[in-house]
Amino acid sequence: MLDQSHPARPSPATPLDLLWQAPVISSVVLTGEMLAAVLALAPGVAGSRWIHFGLTSLLIQWISLLTLATLYLLRSKLGRLRPNAIANLALLILLAVTAAVCTLAWAVLRHLLPRHADSGLALWLQFSGIALTVGLLGLTALQSHWKAQQLAVRTKQAELDALQARIHPHFLFNTLNTGVALVHQQPEAAERLLLDLADLFRAALGGPSEVSLEHELSLTRRYLEIETLRFGARLQVTWLLPAPLPLIQVPTLGIQTLAENAIRHGVEPSATGGVVTITVRRVDGMLQVRVANDLPTTPSKDSTGHRIGLKAVRSRLQHLTGGAGRVDTMIEDGRYIATITLPVPQGVRP
């Protein structure tokens, strides 16, 4: 049986999780600097604008970074709340941090700000108004980004569902026909075929969107064992795998889809069959999974499914790796080669 105990890498569970992503933190810092520059260039600023910019930048960065730090420390408790409640508490934390920073700044830097504000209360009111305005705008942008990301996740899942639905009819009918032919002549082979088919469809219908490399290769091996029973000596499969396999996540049915393409467009159209070679290797901190097949003398007429499968795998791989992964195809020495390349996280064993 296939081991389905490997968990998929989870997507952000709440909008709050987006705050810990590097692009969001960088945007917060850059927005703070831009706001400080606008305030320093505003009419009516007395004294040196550079000093005004430096002090304002200092206050804004302390407020924004301390707010992010507070939200991070409270993330486990805030994660249990609804998104609206999280937004309201985030605003309250922002205002509380603003009050604390302004009070401390007035106590320590009052001599540097004789004309910046008439009192600590005026300083707090000014920065609280700015914090409230920027906070509301930031929450609106964060909410839009969250909705867009959720939509992207649903789109990728829909692509996976479509990919699963596409392989079911063609593969199911061929496998059942093979099983019927083997029932009387090779009952043990027919039993193994049905067990492999059950495992394959259990993973396809109920599995997560990402699985471990080991699990995906096991799933692909089951698929190729079924196809070997169907094609017999026409299909030869070669595996070139490292030991042990890297502990890394890959899209469900990603490698299996490339293997299916190799069968449908390489082995099946050829009267003599062909060899399918699956290679896993690490190259310069990247993991490469190559699926190669012999090209038939007569090209496959139906290439639509081939393009759809590659497009779906490529899109899901880019989503899984944040754009760092890719799927490349090439023809070399009479063989069609499809290669999945994705980064290996630091600390993953070779």
The DSSP-derived string for 239-301 is: EE--SSPP--EEETTHHHHHHHHHIIIIITT-SS-EEEEEEEEEETTEEEEEEEEEPPSS--S
Give the model's pLDDT for residue 168.
52
Tell me the pTM. Answer: 0.53
Pairing mode of beta strands 286-294, 249-251:
unpaired
CA distance 157 to 208: 10
Give the model's pLDDT for residue 279.
96
What is the CATH code of the structural domain delimited by 209-343?
3.30.565.10
Collect the ranges in the chain with pLDDT lower than 70: 1-18, 44-47, 79, 109-124, 142, 145-146, 149-150, 153, 156-174, 201, 203-207, 299-308, 346-350
Nearest to 298 by CA among 328, 327, 329, 274: 274
CA distance 171 to 44: 75
Which residues are paired to 211 by β-bridges?
Answer: 250
Give the model's pLDDT for residue 34.
85
Helix (H) / strand (E) element for 330: namely: strand 326-332
Give the model's pLDDT for residue 4.
33
Nearest to 278 by CA among 197, 199, 203, 339: 339
- Provide the 10 A C-beta neighbour count for residue 27: 13
Q: What are the residue boundaries of the structural domains of the chain, listed by start? A: 15-150, 209-343
Give the model's pLDDT for residue 287.
92
Give the model's pLDDT for residue 234.
92
Which CA distances in Å does 257 have to 19, 24, 34, 55, 169?
A: 35, 35, 48, 58, 14
Phi and psi (nearest 5°) for 177?
Answer: -60, -40
The encoded tokens of residue 169 equal 């009819």
- Give the amino acid at 268: E
Sequence-distant (≥ 6) Cβ neighbours of residue 35 within 8 angstroms? 56, 60, 130, 134
**Helix, strand and coil in the chain, % to nearest 5:** 65, 15, 20
